[in-house]
Amino acid sequence: MSENAIKWNMSIPFVTKSDYIIRFTELSLAPNSKGNPMITIKTEIAAPDTVDMTVGNDTKPVVVAGVKPSAIYMTLQVSNEGGIDADKTEGCRQRWNDLRKKLELPEETNWENPATEDIKKVLAYALIQNKADPKTASPTREELARGIKVGKVLLHPKTKQPLIDNYPEIKEIYCLAELPTGGQSL
C-alpha cells in the first residue's frame, strides 16, 4: 500500500471497476417490510488495497480495502392478497441460486431455512460503481404537513453546487476469486 494513500470517504467518487474482490461478511434472513423472507448480504472490499481516484483536481491513491459497499437485498418469496405469487417467487429464488452458482455452491432447496453460512468469508470478483446521492436538509414542518418527506437539496455555500455523498454499489458479482499474492494493486 502506498505511503501517501488517503482513506476513502463519501466526498470521493468511487472508481467503477470490474475487478474488485469482495468478501461476504454478513448474511441474515429476516422478513422485509411486507413480511416476505429476505436475505440481507453485507460485503467489504478485500482487494485491491488502493485505487487511483480523483480527489479535488488531483489523482491520488485511495485506500479501498475494507470499504463496505451498499448491502444487497434478496427477497425469497413474494406474497400478494391471494397468497404467494408463484412467478415472482420463482424469479427471486432463481436470483439467489444464480448467486450460489457463481460462488460454486450447491443450489438452494430448503426455502424455509436457506443456507447462508457457507457464503460467509467467500471471495468473489465484482463490478462496483459509484452511486452519487445529493445531501438533503430535514423537511420543515410545512413540508411534512404537505406529505413531503425529504427536504431540499443542500448547496455548497460558496459554489452553490449540490453537496453529494458517494457510495460504492455492487452492480454485478461474477465468480469466485482469490486474493492476489504480493501487492494488491489490481
Amino acid at 181: T
Give me 92's grid cell: 427471486
What digits encode the pLDDT tens for the residues 2-35?
Answer: 678 999 999 999 999 999 999 999 999 999 988 8
Domain ranges of the chain: 6-130+168-176
What does the alpha-carbon distance between residue 61 and residue 64 come to, in Å, rounded to a whole number?
9
**Rounded-to-5 percentages of helix, strand, coil across the chain:** 15, 40, 45
Claim: this prediction has a pTM higher than 0.75: yes
Across 140-162, average pLDDT: 92
116: three-class secondary structure by DSSP: coil
Residue 162: DSSP 8-state: B
Q: Which pLDDT does position 185 carry in this prediction? A: 44
Q: Which pLDDT does position 182 carry in this prediction? A: 55
Q: Which pLDDT does position 104 carry in this prediction? A: 94
Q: Which pLDDT does position 46 carry in this prediction? A: 96
What does the alpha-carbon distance between residue 126 and residue 45 come to, in Å, rounded to a whole number?
9
Residue 80: pLDDT over 60: yes
What digits encode the pLDDT tens for the residues 96-145?
Answer: 999 999 999 999 988 988 989 999 889 999 999 999 999 999 999 999 99
Give me 54's grid cell: 480523483
The pLDDT > 70 percentage for the chain reads: 96
Q: Which residue has the higher pLDDT, 167 or 4?
A: 167
Scored b (16 or more CB within 10 A) or e, 174-186 reads eeebeeeeeeeee
Radius of gyration of the chain (CA): 20
**Which pLDDT band, with edges at 50, 70 and 90, does 186 fall under?**
very low
Residue 47: pLDDT over 70: yes
